[in-house]
Structure 1
Amino acid sequence: MNYIQLSHISISDIITILTPSCNFRCRYCFFTPRNCREYDVQSIGDRILEISDRTGMDRVLIAGGEPTLQEDLPELTEILGRDLHVTISTNGSRRDVLRRSTFHEVHVDLKALDRKKHRRLTGRTNRDVLECIEEFSDSDKIEVSTVLVPGIVDTPEIERIARFLSWWDIPYRITGYVSHGNSMAARRPTDDEIRNAARISRMYLSSVSTSLDFRRHKKRKMIIDTP
């Protein structure tokens, strides 16, 4: 029997499955796992499909934490991918699991192109992340995102990332840093700083979006802690 560890499932304009564990230690992470337990993959798949039938929503996002640390993620995505549009949000460190998974989109979070900055932010090298982006670069399923952190991952670093992604013209999303009570000494970027980073990125890429474009998400409502 296959199992997957979950924190909880929530819903807004998309059904979101959140897994608890992560192999990065991102300094600005705001995710707080809830009642974490292992569940049978089939029962979770059935519950998600039940929620989809009840709400009419046909899109599911699997995030965390880092979902690819769940070895049975491929089994869950196979169940969901038959009827739903599946997106996996990942730090890109487990390509072996992604290769075996069924998804329509994969969102890879690239914290920084500069190796020292990436290690400062996550405690880990970005080598696997960059290799993940390159491996899936010939697919129309990939999007890369970066958090704009003034003074750390600022506009020049965003431009370097955009130039790197331009080899494949990968869709790119820039998110403004928001403090969630963490200890990182950084301020929130202004809207103009986010727009400027996007403007510069569009010199290299045909598809660039920002967190300013997503401010009107519906408020998430908790659906389940257990199936």
Structure 2
Amino acid sequence: MSSHRKARSRTNPISQRALRLGLLAAGVAGVATAVPAQAATGTGVSHAAFASDHVFSHADRAHHTQARDSFTVRQFGQVNATAVRNQANAVSAGCSADDHCRSVALSFQIVTVAGEHTHLNAVNLSDAANKKCTGCQTLAGAYQFVVSTPTAFSLDSATRRRLDDIHHRLDALTRSTLPAAELKTRVDGLAAEVTQVLDNAVAHAPKAPAGKPAVTLHRHLDGWPGH
């Protein structure tokens, strides 16, 4: 049996330190970030915005149940370009039918943007994986709600209270012991409520000749047993 060792390359110590700092910053900001880029003129109007939300759960023989959820509201106001990402990942690993695991990850992301010619890049993903886990229940659900209006718009206090109520009920569902199939149905019901609340909110938003307010839902669910 032969072995091969890669030749060691020489790296500038300053470059190595810069790389470590960059990786550290990426790790800190990777779970939930929202970054508006302000206009250079100092007017306070956001011309570009970025938001990323990610929920991850992992259940195994040491931690048989792990359930996590996120419910975020990002209001960016007037923008020229927006990139938003929402992701949920759930993993169950190494359990058996007699000693099964349960892993649940749910992410609700609400984003509001205003502008008549806004460029929007929206990504919404979920993935549920069973790794040598017989009889385990694994569910990942990503729900992304994009509210676009031609003129400046923000959610009022009554709308925020309704969304807070749905958030509390999502927390309770996430922590429940409902079978994965029923949990999917109940979470879909909450998503429908969010859509209705947002539809009602934008119905009173200012109109403009170039377009009308709209609410778009991106939904992705993945789960075991069954898809």
TM-score by length of 1: 0.26
Q: Which has the larger radius of gyration?
A: 2
Higher RCO (C-alpha under 8 Å, 6+ residues apart): 1
**Structure with more of its chain in helix, by fraction:** 1
The structure that is strand-richer by fraction is 2
